[in-house]
Structure 1
Amino acid sequence: MTTTTSVSSNTQSTQGINDALKSGSASAADLQNNFLKMLVTQMNNQDPLNPMDNSQLTTQLAQISTVSSMQTMNGTLTQLLGQVSAGRAMNSAGLIGHTVMVPGSQVSVKDGVASQFGVDIPSTADAVTVSVVDKDGTVVRTIDMKGQVAGVHDIAWDGKNDAGVAVADGDYTFKVNATANGTSVQPVALVYGKVQSISGDTNGVLVDIGNGQSAGVDDVRRIL
């Protein structure tokens, strides 16, 4: 009777390990500990005249070894990614102090002069318009760039509204609409900024251009 109870408990443990292997919810160390406990229980309670089939235990041991190897490999890859990112951050340190062009939509006006900005047009567009918007959401200037070929383009704004009157100094945003045969070509608004610092982690390398703005180093369109 005791043997029956132990074997039943062992069967439940086997099912638990199988479930953990399928769900990936347990670490390799936990699975190994459970496996050893189950193995000892089986050895202590199996019927010498009718020994239990160990093929399932062998299969589970191979699975546990695979899980352990994968977890070790994942940890190694994470470390390598961190090292690569740190290396890229060091290599990108040369950008500090340089003016770069990155995705963004903020533009400012100081002493009547607007900051530089632009647009990246993925494919040739037959119509490109730029709308400069103030902090209240009002469009103060619409710039018609006509048709443009694919590529990065500067946008010229003289700091005046549609009536030709200089706008107040301050912060503005801009939107770009570029279409080909009436369909958007998904333009990317760009701004210029001086790189203040470089940071890097497993997600990539970022360039900080001040005023709370940052962008991935791979998104830099121009370096001046």
Structure 2
Amino acid sequence: MSITDTTSGLTLKEILANSSKKTPTTSNDGLAAATNSSTGKNALGKDAFLKLLVTQLNNQNPLDPQDNSEFVAQLAQFSSLEGITTLNDSVTAIAGNYKSSQALQASSLVGRSVIVQAATTQVDTTKSMTGSVKVPASVSGLTVTITDKDGKTVKTIDLGSQKAGNTSFVWDGTKTDGTKAEPGNYTFKASTTIDGKGTDLITYLPATVNSVTISQTGGELMLNLAGQSSAVALSKVQTIGI
């Protein structure tokens, strides 16, 4: 049974329902501000989320209030949002520390000598240079041919029979005729015969680090080496010397 107001023709339930509808006030202004903050340039933060939650509670229907389980679920969402915000701040701080560590590491590498997988390098022929060859299986004969920037053969080093593994070689900077070669860029080609077929092997050569490129997206350091046209990733470095 409903009680009826003879002047308005509205039931008590309708009157109470209408009473929950408020004209724009400071609460609605807060809701608008919170909504704008979530849909504008700024992401929905914990403060905006809390404003939305409070405004929702202030404007709920008294005849159909929010269920306790729904309220607890929203509080849990608020807690999760706050935790994610804190995690983001921590990750940002860690990323900043990582970049600082990279910069320090980069500065210590400039001018150092490293051993990397390469075929060409800059050689100071006034002193001996040591490189190595990766031998996949035992071979009866292994040679390293050295050519200059014009592609002319400067010297061939005969390493003879070798077992599987890394085999070192030394070039004293002299040509085949015993005279000193000019300092500059030289190419080293290691060759052998495996299963009756001529095979080129991987060489590891020394190079000087001219500069280091630091990734702005969290990637690894890239080393710009003397005598090489392309940068080499730090993870590709076999040995770091003086």
TM-score, scaled to structure 1: 0.54
Residue identity opposite 1:118 in structure 2: G
- Contact 1:117–1:192 (Cα < 8 Å) also in 2: no
Separation in 2 of the partners of 1:178 and 1:67? 59
Over the matched positions of the two proteins, sequence identity in percent amounts to 22
Residue in 1 that maps onto 2:90: 73
Q: How does 1:47-62 map to 2 (within 5 A)?
A: 47-52=61-66, 53-62=70-79
Task: After TM superposition, give the deviation of residue 76 of structure 1 in Å.
Answer: 1.4
Q: Which residue of 2 aligns with 1:7?
A: none
Distance 1:66-1:108 versus aligned 2 partners, 3 A rule: closer
Q: 1:38 aligns with which of 52, 71, 76?
A: 52
**Which stretches in structure 2 are left out of the alignment for 5+ residues?**
1-17, 22-30, 32-37
- In the alignment, the residues of structure 2 paired with residue 75 and residue 126 of structure 1 have an alpha-carbon distance, to the nearest angstrom, of 51
Larger radius of gyration: 2
Taking CA–CA contacts closer than 8 Å with sequence separation of 6 or more, which of the two structures ends up with the larger relative contact order?
1
Q: Provide Cα deviations, 1:155-206, integer angstroms capped at 9, x if missing partner.
A: 5497779xx9x9x977553455689999x9x84532333x545676765566
How far did 1:68 drift? Answer: 0.7
Q: 1:75 deviation in Å? A: 1.0
Q: Which residue of 2 aligns with 1:189?
A: 204
- Does structure 2 retain, via aligned residues, the 8 Å contact 1:114–1:159? no
Deviation at 1:70, TM superposition (A): 1.4
What is the root-mean-square deviation in Å for CA atoms of aligned residues? 5.4
Deviations 1:6-54 (A, max 9, x none): xxxx9xxxxxx9xxxxxxxx98x52435523531442243222322221
Q: CA deviation at 1:78?
A: 1.1
Q: Give the letter for the 2:60 counterpart.
A: Q
Contact 1:102 1:222 in 2 (8 A): yes
Cα pair 2:145 2:190 within 8 Å, conserved: yes
For structure 1, which runs of at least 5 residues remain unmatched after alignment?
4-9, 11-16, 18-25
Distance 1:196 1:217, change over 3 A: farther
Q: Distance in 1 between matches of 2:239 and 2:120?
A: 16
Superposition deviation, residue 65 in structure 1: 1.5
> Higher strand proportion, which one?
1
**What is residue 118 of structure 1 aligned with on the other side?**
131
Q: Report the TM-score, using the length of structure 2 for normalisation.
A: 0.51
> How many aligned residue pairs are there?
196
Evaluate the alpha carbon distance shift between residue 89 and residue 191 of structure 1 in structure 2; reply closer, same or farther with a 3 A threshold. closer
